[in-house]
Structure 1
């Protein structure tokens, strides 16, 4: 197995926490489930033999489906679009109106590469409204796109609510759960897209996880708040990361990431 980086930028990405997360993953499992896929950092790192990637954001799942089928033409489409304020606003407008899955996936990728901090935010009418970023990362290479597509061919992809996906996992399956961060304020800034889990949904998520655990599923949960009271009998640890969703670098302070898992690390082998 050779770890590869995800192809998308995404709010709340766990790229900087991979060493800590992978050290807490079970070594042997049946099928991998990720109900809050986002950039699917851990999936691309682990490269499981069978997987289910799901997210409530249909544009994210459409992008993965198109990339999975035809990375070459999708990469060519995006690479041929110029980068700049005028081009960005033009593509943002087209994205709001486009219905063709391939073109929509291409516009989604272009906006993701060039918007501020890789956010997926929409207005009340559902239109993507993130502004152009300043320090933009280079376009991923065609080899990177092909490598991600190859791994995606081992996965089923679904635009779905997390509860349905978690409900499918059975004995010996591994679920990695990385929901949107609990907010420090009551304001929803839309960093995770429309329909994303809100703080009020936490009880429903905890109930779904406990039921999956009772069925024998192996579960690793990461969050920016302590949920140990909701998951009695699980193992709970804190790992360190950095908060990246801020225009001011001085505010990207270190934070604590809470992890919970329902298996013994000593018995993973």
Structure 2
């Protein structure tokens, strides 16, 4: 089970991937847009390489893997009220383990579990109310995640270098930030740098090259005509998820997404 609360997380996609048998016969697993890591935590792979361009996110994964007890001790010392939230949010920590503790604390108490930064790169999501941090230890989320991450390679990297590493029989799951219109909803994921259309094209080209080497690749993307046209030569499925980001339940609805399958 993922230890992060992550907008756009893919726990809902796990049963669908099992239906399309995307995991069958994989040699190594790669996930270059890590986020909440729901797909990684759902598979059984003796060899995995996880990456993302978000340095704070990657640092948190490394600290969860290597220093789970120290991390939990630090988080348990942090008060969970509104005033403390803003104080901790504005604090600049020097050590990597303290930065990770701050990241996890803010992730659990921020509105919607969002990760958003301003133009100066500072986290600026408001306090979320009654959500609790305790789940990290009462449900053993950090402990279990640390065990799952043992022996896993984790690094901060652009997706292109990761796709270049993948070999025949390996499986790559790509969940890029969606920045195009999406069922009449535009949304932007956690990266402070926008994932541009040029990046979308670059991702497709990298996937196409890797697929020619025999790499199995699955790409989640926005259900938008521009995306469909970009991947027009690739098998795809339309899947849907429930959007719960709105405060008003009446405005929450099911949203379509595309799932592109290379060699699957």
Q: TM-score, normalised by structure 2?
A: 0.90
Preserved contact between residue 57 and residue 195 of structure 1 (Cα < 8 Å): no
Query: Hey, what's the Cα distance between the residues in 2 that align with 1:190 and 1:130?
Result: 14
The one of the two structures with greater contact order (alpha-carbon pairs below 8 A, sep at least 6) is 1
| Aligned-pair CA distance for 1:71 | 1.1
Preserved contact between residue 53 and residue 158 of structure 1 (Cα < 8 Å): yes
2:137 to 136, 141, 144: 141
Aligned residue pairs: how many? 258
- Identify the residue that residue 237 of structure 2 maps to in structure 1: 237
Query: Hey, what's the Cα distance between the residues in 2 that align with 1:217 and 1:238?
Result: 22
- Identify the residue that residue 262 of structure 2 maps to in structure 1: 262
- Identify the residue that residue 109 of structure 2 maps to in structure 1: 114
Question: Is 2:87 the counterpart of 1:74?
Answer: no
Query: Hey, what's the Cα distance between the residues in 1 that align with 2:68 and 2:107?
Result: 16
- Identify the residue that residue 58 of structure 1 maps to in structure 2: 55
**Cα distance, 1:150–1:173 mapped onto 2, change above 3 Å:** same
Preserved contact between residue 218 and residue 261 of structure 2 (Cα < 8 Å): yes
The answer for unaligned runs of 5 or more in structure 2 is none
1:134-190 CA-to-partner distances (Å, cap 9, x unmatched) read 2415522263211111111131111111111111111111000111123338x9876
Query: Hey, what's the Cα distance between the residues in 2 that align with 1:222 and 1:105?
Result: 27
Query: Hey, what's the Cα distance between the residues in 1 that align with 2:130 and 2:16?
Result: 28
Q: TM-score, normalised by structure 1?
A: 0.89
- Identify the residue that residue 267 of structure 1 maps to in structure 2: none
- Identify the residue that residue 89 of structure 1 maps to in structure 2: 86
**Cα distance, 1:198–1:251 mapped onto 2, change above 3 Å:** farther
**Structure 1 runs of 4+ off > 4 angstroms?**
187-190
Query: Hey, what's the Cα distance between the residues in 1 that align with 2:89 and 2:188?
Result: 17
Query: Hey, what's the Cα distance between the residues in 2 that align with 1:40 and 1:166?
Result: 17
- Identify the residue that residue 13 of structure 1 maps to in structure 2: 9
